[in-house]
Every structure is written in C-alpha cells, then in structure tokens.
Amino acid sequence: MVKIEFLGPIEQKPLEIEADSLRDVANFLQKIESLNSWLDRCAVAVNGEMCNDLSKRLYSGDIVSILPPVCGG
C-alpha cells in the first residue's frame, strides 16, 4: 500500500492505495471529483523528495505528497 497525503490547503484526508508507479497514483487521483481543481497546479514529492517522473516506481510504504501552490515569507 502506498500512502497519499495532501498538503497545505487541500481538504482531503490521506489515502492508502495499491500502486506500482506514480502513474497509477495519477490515474486514481484524477477520478476524485474534489481534487479536480487542484491537480493541475500541484507538484509531487515521494518520500520527501520532489518527483517529476510519472514512471517512478513505488513500493509498499512509500509516501506520495501532493503539494499545491506555495507562498512563503
């Protein structure tokens, strides 16, 4: 099982799903209506490292973080 967590203002509880790659996670999240307005503008981290590659292999226990638009300072 892979854990998906939603950071900052996204009001979505963490999810646990079976996924072999980040592409599986993307396919799954695209089906969640309430995330529609967010996904376009979100970046992704896997286990605390930014990831830009949908083919990224995932293993059980991995944590995928969904990062919406930022504004520090």
Partner 1 sequence: MELYQGPLDIKSIFSRWLDEERESNYGAFIPFIGIVRAEDNIEGLSFDIYEPILESWFNSWVEIAKERGAKVKMAHSIGDVPIHTSSYISAVFSPRRRVALELIDEFVEDFKANAPIWKYDIVDGKRLYAEDRSSPMSGSGILTNKENR
Work out how close the CB of 71 gets to partner 1 at its nearest, in angstroms, rounded to a whole number.
4
* C-beta closer to partner 1: residue 17 or 68: 68
* C-beta closer to partner 1: residue 33 or 71: 71
Q: From CA 19, how far away is CA 57, in angstroms rounded?
A: 9
Work out how close the CB of 31 gets to partner 1 at its nearest, in angstroms, rounded to a whole number.
12
The DSSP bridge pattern shows strands 43-46 and 49-50 to be antiparallel
Q: Give the binding site for partner 1 (CB under 8 A).
A: 7-9, 22-23, 25-27, 29-30, 39-45, 48-54, 65-73
Among 49, 50, 31, 37, smallest CA distance to 9 is for 37
Tokens representing 17 are 């799903």
